[in-house]
């Protein structure tokens, strides 16, 4: 059984109604555990082929890029729609809530919420290690069709790893993910294949989107109970787990991005030729994975099972709904109907306006009395 499935079964075995707030200062909401800003998280998941010529031939640049992208969390968006009747094509309100920074967080001193894993030689894990199919061991590539055939004299992997301190690689990491990533970057750059791809996968653990949708739906029903214009509600959660790809600057990779070329080869039956090239002749390096945890199980001797479920920001699905309820109510009141993305700044501005209203309300009452 895989490690991911074991952890999911462990979390499912713990009751959802258990208190999950961690009282340690480093794990309270708002503590210093910064994630990349929204501008970074909105980057494309594929490096443009025209910009990969330097990256595909430089292990240091590839290492830095993959390590940077591994720190960007998957985006969690909650879409909320209200309709005048069931099956209507027009909406009364339609907006979106960005839950990323209230569900996920960076690692703290007490807990690890973002885990970076890289497969290594001899670990027994099936992965694409430069070939067209998953393998357990890496073998040096000997390619003919699609090879660049350029004479290169790169440094060995050991020689590159001697400069790891200049790259900021942590020598004391327990799993050696940084060293393994640098090794795979060296292998990728030394691969003579002209068509090759290095992929960073993303995964999310401990997040129950169905439970959150149910909680938000109940909250919406309470908000629009007396609204005669809203008769039907829809709540859907979208999680962007798209992988991040770095590909070699080959014309075939450039065509792979062109949607019109895809339609063309399907209509002309040329996919019979291009599909084998895509599957069998492309060097695939899918060895890195960035795992984000919205919640996890920790030891708790006070509980009968000896385990407790904690969340990254101390909020389960019901607490997360209550946290965003003021923003949801205000957006419905304002009839937000443009699929606007509401972020933490929207909620902070709303709290600031309510605070100002509470401050100046007594003064306005006194003025009217005079």
Q: Quick: pLDDT tens for 120-172.
A: 988 889 999 988 888 998 887 665 444 444 444 444 444 444 444 334 444 44
Single pTM value for the model: 0.76
- Average per-residue pLDDT for the chain: 78
| Beta bridge partners of residue 203, listed in sequence order | 291
**The pair of three-digit structure tokens given for residue 287, joined into one six-digit string:** 């060895």
Compute φ and ψ for 106, nearest 5 degrees: -75, 170
Residues sharing a CB contact under 8 Å with residue 6, sequence separation 6 or more, in sequence order: none
Compute φ and ψ for 9, nearest 5 degrees: -65, -35
Torsion sign (Cα): 122, 284, 47, 158? positive
Cα–Cα nearest to 147, from 287, 284, 250: 250
The region of weakest confidence among 32-36, 138-142, 155-159, 258-262 is 155-159
The region of weakest confidence among 88-92, 176-180, 201-205, 245-249 is 245-249
pLDDT confidence of residue 288: 96
| Beta bridge partners of residue 201, listed in sequence order | 289
Say if residue 33's pLDDT is above 90: no
| Ordered alpha helix ranges (H), 191-334 | 209-223, 251-256, 259-267, 271-280, 317-333
- Separation CA 296–CA 312 (nearest Å): 8
In contact, 96 and 340? CB cutoff 8 Å? yes
The region of weakest confidence among 179-193, 199-213, 343-357 is 343-357
Residues sharing a CB contact under 8 Å with residue 223, sequence separation 6 or more, in sequence order: 325, 328, 329, 332
CA 301 to chain centre: 33
pLDDT-derived band at 53 (thresholds 50, 70, 90) equals: low
pLDDT confidence of residue 58: 86
* Average pLDDT over every residue of 325-329: 95
Say if residue 302's pLDDT is above 80: no
At 100, which helix (H) or strand (E)? helix 100-103
């Amino acid at each position: 059984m895989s490690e991911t499935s074991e952890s999911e079964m462990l979390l499912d075995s713990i009751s959802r109604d258990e208190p999950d707030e961690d009282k340690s200062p480093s794990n309270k909401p708002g503590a210093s555990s910064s994630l990349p800003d929204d501008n970074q998280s909105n980057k494309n998941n594929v490096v443009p082929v025209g910009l990969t010529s330097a990256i595909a031939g430089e292990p240091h640049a590839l290492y830095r890029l993959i390590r940077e992208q591994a720190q960007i969390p998957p985006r969690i968006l909650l879409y909320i729609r209200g309709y005048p009747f069931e099956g209507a094509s027009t909406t009364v309100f339609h907006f979106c809530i960005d839950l990323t920074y209230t569900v996920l967080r960076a690692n703290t001193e007490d807990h690890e919420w973002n885990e970076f894993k890289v497969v290594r030689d001899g670990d027994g894990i099936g992965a694409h290690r430069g070939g067209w199919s998953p393998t357990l061991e890496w073998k040096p590539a000997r390619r003919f069709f699609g090879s660049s055939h350029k004479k290169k004299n790169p440094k060995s992997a050991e020689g590159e790893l001697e400069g790891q301190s200049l790259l900021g690689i942590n020598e004391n990491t327990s799993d050696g993910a940084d060293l393994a990533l640098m090794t795979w970057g060296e292998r990728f750059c030394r691969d003579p294949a002209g068509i090759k791809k290095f992929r960073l996968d993303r995964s999310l653990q401990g997040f129950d989107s169905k439970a959150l949708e149910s909680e938000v739906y109940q909250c919406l029903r309470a908000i629009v109970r007396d609204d005669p214009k809203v008769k039907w509600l829809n709540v859907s959660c979208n999680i962007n787990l798209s992988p991040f790809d770095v590909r070699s600057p080959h014309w075939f990779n450039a065509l792979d991005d062109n949607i019109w070329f895809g339609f063309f080869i399907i209509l002309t039956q040329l996919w019979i030729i291009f599909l084998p090239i895509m599957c069998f002749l492309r060097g695939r390096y899918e060895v890195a994975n960035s795992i984000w945890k919205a919640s996890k199980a920790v030891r708790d001797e006070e509980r009968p099972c000896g385990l407790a479920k904690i969340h990254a920001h101390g909020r389960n699905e019901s607490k997360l709904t209550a946290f965003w309820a003021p923003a949801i109510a205000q957006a419905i009141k304002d009839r937000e109907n443009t699929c606007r993305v509401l972020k933490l700044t929207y909620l902070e501005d709303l709290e600031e306006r309510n605070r100002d209203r509470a401050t100046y309300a007594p003064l306005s009452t006194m003025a009217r009395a005079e």
